[in-house]
Structure 1
Amino acid sequence: MERLIPANERLLKSRKKVWGSELRGKIIVMICAGIMISTTIAITIFLGIKGIQSFTKNDVSLLEFLTSLNWNPTNKENPEYGALPFIFGSFAVTFLSALIAAPLGIGGAIFMTEIAPSWGRKILQPVIELLVGIPSVVYGFIGLSVLVPFIREHVGGLGFSLLTGTIVLSIMILPTVTTIATDAMSSLPKNLREGSYALGATRWQTIRKVLIPAAMPSLLTAIVLGMARAFGEALAVQMVIGNVRDLPSSILDASATLTTIITLNMGHTTYGSVENNTLWSMGLILLIMSFGFILLIRYLSSRRKM
């Protein structure tokens, strides 16, 4: 006959199994977290070391690099390393695309959560997910094939311009803004709407004066996340913006961004050369700006919790 195991022994064994599984789970989670943290620190240190070599090793002036308009690193007699046109181009297309995508994305989120019937969200949600899944090279190719000729013929200029890059980027970041804004509007408590309607407010008054102010920190977070993606985009912008070294005087002029110059020139430079190191410096600027976007998002998230 099998020996009957006392209840206290069974309870002790079950506790040991639970403790063992919890310990294994903690170890796995800590290993994953350690890999993520170490990878981030390693990338930051590597890019920081490579990014400052142009200033410490090659004696490139930091002030000239950030403020000069002239970029001619291949000139052996008088090389120039002014990255201001590319910095300006990166910020210009980022903010302009946010100006287009923010109202469209927030408006779409309001439509899906407050106005459209249930079937409206069922139709729009797959459309947004489809836009997220399209590769950036496809956006760039469509912009090159459709937008560039259209702007050249009907608006003016060569077609390769800040305007074209802005339109392409705004379409690319629109799903990000819309998705986060939709979640923000959906997470608002129902008593906000019910209280507003009980006081006699119309649906539009409720949306404009109650719901949007309540969700504003989350909506700003959605916009900043979209801007962070736009700031780091390279391939799609490279195909339509023109990639010139001059500072644009209007939105119809060709321009360049930090990412486009890095992708165009990195393969044509010698590792360790001055030009190669200045490209790493541009990458360091991108990393610093990415950290800035993250800090801004953290600040907006903390305001949301207050």
Structure 2
Amino acid sequence: MSERRKRGLGKKPQDTAGLVLFFVALSSVAFILGIIAVLFVEGLPALSHVSLSEFFLGRRWYPVSSPPRFGLLPLLLGSLFVTLGGLAFAVPLGFLAAVFLAEICPWGLREFLKPVIEILAGIPSVVYGFFGVVFLAPFLREIFTLPTGLTALTASMLLGLMAVPVVVSVMEDALTAVPRDYREAALALGATRWETIKEVVVPAASSGIGAAVILGAGRIIGETMTVLMVAGGAALIPRSFFQPVRTMTAAIAAEMAETPVGSLHYRVLFLVAVVLFAITLLFDLVVNLFGRREFWRR
């Protein structure tokens, strides 16, 4: 057998594995494109019955009234409220935890704390929702003397806790990736440890920190079960965090099962999903933008 033939036989398993991996990657892209196609095919026909101005600026979401009202504004503002509230809890807590893990925590303690924080990401969302309904909502109702504890504040606190593992993981990786030479140079110039962290390490990791915030927002806005259980489910324009709200994800989950297939309500729910997809895609694009060093050098 010639040497060339032996080489060709030796490459066949590698070529087969590469071909299999290629088709696996291609199937992932095909599934994503299929999901996008279904969303647009099912959702866009609703625009022939509901105008864009009525849909995006309408203040009433009454899908079973006569005539039905499909104003997205209460759902959109509800999602915005819980997202901003969740970030207000997740970002400071996640940032401080990431700085502690990356810069201060002893190695042995870090090896214990990091897996514990990551365990939070593996807890099912329904468990968070159950905890909110049984413990957190009654506690907040008593503290703030509210008619109900199922409010945007309750949802924000739980969603912030759920986003902490994502924020901590990305921020900690960004801080750890800062070259050691930066720290040593700052210390050699007389800076204290805290000054080094504040003036050198954190600015150098700013792109990763910004990406962590956006990823945390994407994690929060896409959550369904928790907000369905603890946000109150009121499709009203929220004016404070102490009011019940309904998010876009909660509306889809709560109403899709009882909606006749092919009805206008059915189409509008898919249109809401298209808007949610567009917001998530925007978050991903912003994360990619934040990750480019050229963005921070402008």
TM-score normalized with structure 2 length: 0.95
Q: Cα distance, 1:110 vs. partner?
A: 0.7
Q: What percentage of residue pairs aligned between the two structures are identical?
A: 34
Of 24, 33, 36, which residue of structure 2 is paired with 1:44?
Answer: 36
Match of 2:189 in 1: 199
Q: Cα distance, 1:26 vs. partner?
A: 2.1
Match of 2:91 in 1: 102
Of 163, 185, 194, which residue of structure 1 is paired with 2:153?
Answer: 163
Match of 1:301 in 2: 291
* Distance across 2 between alignment mates of 1:164 and 1:216: 30
Q: Cα distance, 1:129 vs. partner?
A: 2.0
* Distance across 1 between alignment mates of 2:42 and 2:226: 26
SS at match of 1:210: helix
Q: Does 1:30 pair with 2:19? A: no
SS at match of 1:103: helix
Gaps spanning 5+ residues in structure 2: where? none
* Distance across 1 between alignment mates of 2:45 and 2:113: 49
Match of 2:254 in 1: 264
* Distance across 1 between alignment mates of 2:9 and 2:161: 52
- Aligned ranges 1:1-306 → 2 under 5 Å: 9=2, 11-56=3-48, 59-76=49-66, 78-157=67-146, 158-303=148-293
TM-score normalized with structure 1 length: 0.93
| Aligned residue type for 2:16 | R
* Distance across 2 between alignment mates of 1:125 and 1:228: 22
SS at match of 1:12: helix
Flag the structure with larger Rg: 1
* Distance across 1 between alignment mates of 2:254 and 2:61: 14
**250-259 vs 90-99, which deviates more?**
90-99
SS at match of 2:210: helix
Deviations 1:90-136 (A, max 9, x none): 11111221122111111111101111111221221121122111100
Contact in 2 for aligned 1:90/1:258 (Cα 8 Å): yes
Contact in 2 for aligned 1:258/1:282 (Cα 8 Å): yes
* Distance across 1 between alignment mates of 2:11 and 2:114: 42
Gaps spanning 5+ residues in structure 1: where? none
Paired residue total? 295
